């Protein structure tokens, strides 16, 4: 499929040589051909073609009040929903919706000083916005491990692949037929 170019813009990145970017319309974000750093356009994250011709998804997310936001310069992976009692409490729902990230590709855009963290004795925990209470990400050993899918902006192009700890789900929850489930943790995790 060929895309008709929507617009071209030139950016001067902190005194570096100007970079011309061609934008194509997609589902919300834009496809951009460039050789320099990833950019955003009108506050929206963009896709960028890498030198190998593949595309890299820039994912953004924010809390309910908008005071804290982040970007991930990599696709989300290994999305899952956890139905354990602790996740139900942390996410105020029947389960969590969570996807892993590469910590080196994760960046707080604004409001990092507004984060509050709960870290368990095992070294893993969650980060919340101290203003609105949104659960934004999970952390392990001081690094962002994954993001909550409810705080992701737009379509992150990831689907929940499996449901874990369904053996301890709430009695009132009905798991849909046909989804991959595990009574406890997923094998190999």
> With contact defined as beta carbons under 8 Å apart, do 38 and 21 qualify?
no
Please list, in sequence order, all residues whose beta carbon lies within 8 angstroms of the beta carbon of residue 14, skipping any fewer than 6 positions away: none
How are beta strands 44-45 and 59-62 bridged, if at all? unpaired
Span 14-24, mean pLDDT?
45
Q: Is residue 43 helix, strand or coil? A: coil
Report the percentage of the chain scoring pLDDT > 90. 56
Rounded Cα gap, residues 85 and 188, in angstroms: 21
Q: What is the CATH number of domain 75-189?
A: 3.90.1590.10
Domain boundary assignment for the chain: 1-56, 75-189
pTM tops 0.85: no
pLDDT at 57 over 70: no
> With contact defined as beta carbons under 8 Å apart, do 109 and 70 qualify?
yes
Report the percentage of the chain scoring pLDDT > 70. 69
Span 146-151, mean pLDDT?
96
């Amino acid at each position: 499929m060929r895309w008709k170019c929507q617009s071209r813009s030139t950016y001067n990145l902190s005194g570096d040589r100007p970079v011309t970017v061609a934008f194509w319309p997609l589902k919300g974000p834009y496809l951009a051909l460039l050789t320099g750093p990833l950019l955003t356009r009108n506050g929206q994250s963009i896709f960028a073609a890498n030198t190998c011709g593949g595309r890299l998804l820039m994912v953004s997310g924010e809390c309910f009040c908008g005071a804290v936001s982040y970007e991930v310069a990599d696709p989300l992976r290994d999305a899952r929903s956890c139905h354990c009692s602790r996740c139900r409490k942390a996410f105020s729902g029947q389960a969590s919706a969570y996807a892993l990230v590469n910590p080196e590709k994760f960046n707080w855009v604004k409001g990092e000083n507004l984060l509050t963290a709960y870290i368990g004795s095992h070294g893993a925990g969650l980060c919340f916005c101290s203003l609105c209470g949104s659960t934004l990400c999970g952390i392990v050993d001081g690094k962002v491990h994954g993001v909550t899918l409810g705080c992701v902006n737009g379509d992150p192009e990831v689907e929940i692949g499996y449901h874990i700890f369904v053996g301890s789900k709430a009695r009132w929850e009905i798991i849909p037929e046909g989804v991959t489930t595990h009574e406890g943790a997923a094998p190999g995790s």
